Amino acid sequence: MNPVLGITYDPYTATSNGEVSLDLIDHNYFGQDLFNCIYRYSPMGGYWSDCAQPPIVSVLNLSQSILRGLGHYGSSLPLRIDYSPNFSLFDAVDMDLRAAGEGNVFLKNYKLYETQSGYREYWVSKASPGYLFHEPSFLRTAFPTQHDGNTYVALAKPWGVDVPTYLDVAEQFANQLGGHVVTINDAAENQYLTSYRNTTFNEAAFLQTYPGMECGDGGQGPSYCWQLLFTGNPQIGLNDRQVEGQFRWVSDDPVAYTNWRSGQPDNGGCGYVCIGQDYVEMDPNGIWSDTDSISGPVILELAGGVDDTDLEAVRQQMIAEGPFNGFKNNAVLNVWWDPDISHWMRFFMTNGRDNVRFATNNWWGTTSNTVIDAAIQDYNDDFNLGVYRYL
């Protein structure tokens, strides 16, 4: 009790050395002990050490928090966090941004860490910024088919795309063609999609219909595209990403019909207590199950008359515009004054395929493109493709 202010509350909860997997982190301060290794001197001379792997923080939604000195398994670097942070402060971190990040501050202080044996090193921060997709396979489609005034089409399953955002990507793609990720309203529509999956949609027909499709496979051709992008049970628009156990259609249509397998949905046996299975797939018999990933093509329900030419035009448009340029409006505060760039926060692009990352619309603390480029270690020159604008 504060004698002047009365009851007061600390708006932040402090967590130290926590290895957690959570749905939401909000208003938290995450810290980790300074020493990854504890050095003990032996009475017989010399010393020995206990080295513990630093904890992993895995979270679906992160906002308004402060993170410093966290690590990931097998690394002495301070931080790994999965999925999309927003409006948070990251101090001297090894940041793996799997999807996006907006309104954050990435701070690289000129700090040292010291073991008990007196050994000093610099904390070298690095990050993989922005939304990543594999352009040759991104948003590929197959078999647009007309039925009951609509066009049904299979959208490639995610490859090199973060799953929590992919349903949103698919929905935006469908919206531009007058539709949604499929909403199944009755048994007749479910039966049609079952037939579509089992008869129209197969490898032999794919190879015949799309003989020229290339997916960045080194010339392996459409067979590779089929195996990479279109195998597995189709995914529909039903999901419980927002509230566990409360399934809704991406289109926001009311849930008027379901066809669950007995015992489904079960959230992978987790009930309501863990991050489990938020997506819904349809098996060859048209029976539904919840699943933890989008492991098959996503069925879209579009306006009538959409064909392959229309689909490819929208695909190219979305690639050009960067529909989910999620790494934006961040401040990157680096030690640009230090002549040793090994002390800087570094940004790495290490994937060997033709991936595209966006690093536009962020504040870097310098107007020098040359200096910023020095902080970006790019193995495929993707950072210099003109989709980048340093502000």
Contact 162, 83 (CB under 8 A): yes
Domain finish residue from 321, 346, 369? 321
The answer on 228 and 262 residing in a single domain is yes
CATH of the domain at 262: 3.10.100.10
Domain finish residue from 321, 338, 363? 321
The answer on 118 and 142 residing in a single domain is no
Contact 130, 359 (CB under 8 A): yes
Above 90 in pLDDT, residue 350? no
Domain finish residue from 321, 343, 366? 321
Average pLDDT, the chain: 72
The answer on 163 and 91 residing in a single domain is no
The answer on 285 and 166 residing in a single domain is yes
CA distances from 345 to 32, 132, 348, 354 (A): 19, 20, 10, 24
Q: In which domain, by residue range, is 108 found?
A: 13-131+326-384
**176 vs 76, more confident:** 176
pLDDT tens-digit map of 285-316:
999 998 888 889 999 999 999 999 999 999 98
In a domain, 389, yes or no: no
pTM above 0.95, yes or no: no
Give me the mean pLDDT over the 151-168 stretch: 80
The answer on 372 and 228 residing in a single domain is no
The answer on 309 and 360 residing in a single domain is no
Give me the mean pLDDT over the 354-361 stretch: 54
Number of domains in the chain: 2
Above 60 in pLDDT, residue 119? no
In a domain, 202, yes or no: yes
What pLDDT does residue 7 have? 43
Above 80 in pLDDT, residue 124? no
Distance CA(125)–CA(127), nearest Å, equals 7
pLDDT tens-digit map of 208-222:
999 989 887 666 788
In a domain, 6, yes or no: no
What pLDDT does residue 112 have? 41
CA distances from 49 to 35, 38, 99 (A): 11, 5, 37
Above 60 in pLDDT, residue 139? yes
The answer on 160 and 118 residing in a single domain is no
What pLDDT does residue 136 have? 78
Give the residue from 171, 169, 29 showing the smallest Cα distance to 99: 169
What pLDDT does residue 326 have? 62
Above 70 in pLDDT, residue 39? no
The answer on 140 and 127 residing in a single domain is no
Give me the mean pLDDT over the 191-201 stretch: 93
Contact 232, 297 (CB under 8 A): yes
The answer on 273 and 145 residing in a single domain is yes
The answer on 196 and 290 residing in a single domain is yes
